[in-house]
């Protein structure tokens, strides 16, 4: 393995550790102002929604509808109708794999 690849591993580890440490070091140990609690509470829906659509719809810099998009959509319908997480995820995998096998 080349020195360049070891550098990538070291660099990747360093930037990841720095990014994960930045918030806790900069903000930790003190009370955030009251308005911040409302913003923090809404971070989860904002970031989760973005993670879902980029995972299911983005391929590099293109927006594509693929078998996984259909699988995740079917899972979403099932989950919204009260299906358990396990059933929802299993449906996503089965639909995605099934469509790829057909296509």
Partner 1 sequence: MPSPQEPSPHEPPPRESFRAGIRAGIPFAIAGGLLSLSFGVLAREVGFSAIGAIIMSAIVFAGSAQFAIVSILAGGGSAGAAIAAAALMNSRFLPMGIALAPSLRGGWLTRAAQGQTVVDASWAMANRGGGRFDRHFLFGATVPQYVTWFSGTVIGALLGSSLPDPETLGLDAIYPAFFLALLLTELRDRRSCGVALAGAALALALVPFTPSGIPVLAASVAALAGLWRQRTAP
The minimum distance between CB 81 and partner 1, in angstroms, equals 11
The minimum distance between CB 74 and partner 1, in angstroms, equals 9
The whole-angstrom separation of Cα 46 and Cα 56 is 16
| 58 sits near partner 1 (criterion: CB under 8 A) | yes
| 65 sits near partner 1 (criterion: CB under 8 A) | no
What is the β-pairing status of strands 58-59 and 62-63?
A: antiparallel
The whole-angstrom separation of Cα 23 and Cα 43 is 14
Considering only residues 65, 71, 102, 103, which one is a binding residue for partner 1 as defined by CB under 8 A? Answer: 71
């Amino acid at each position: 393995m080349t020195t360049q690849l070891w550098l990538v591993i070291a660099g990747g580890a360093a930037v990841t550790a720095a990014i994960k440490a930045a918030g806790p070091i900069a903000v930790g140990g003190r009370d955030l102002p009251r308005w911040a609690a409302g913003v923090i509470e809404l971070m989860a829906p904002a970031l989760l929604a973005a993670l879902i659509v980029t995972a299911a719809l983005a391929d590099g810099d293109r927006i594509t509808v693929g078998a996984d998009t259909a699988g995740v959509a079917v899972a979403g319908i099932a989950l919204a109708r009260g299906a358990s997480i396990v059933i929802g995820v299993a449906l996503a995998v089965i639909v995605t794999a099934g469509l790829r096998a057909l296509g």
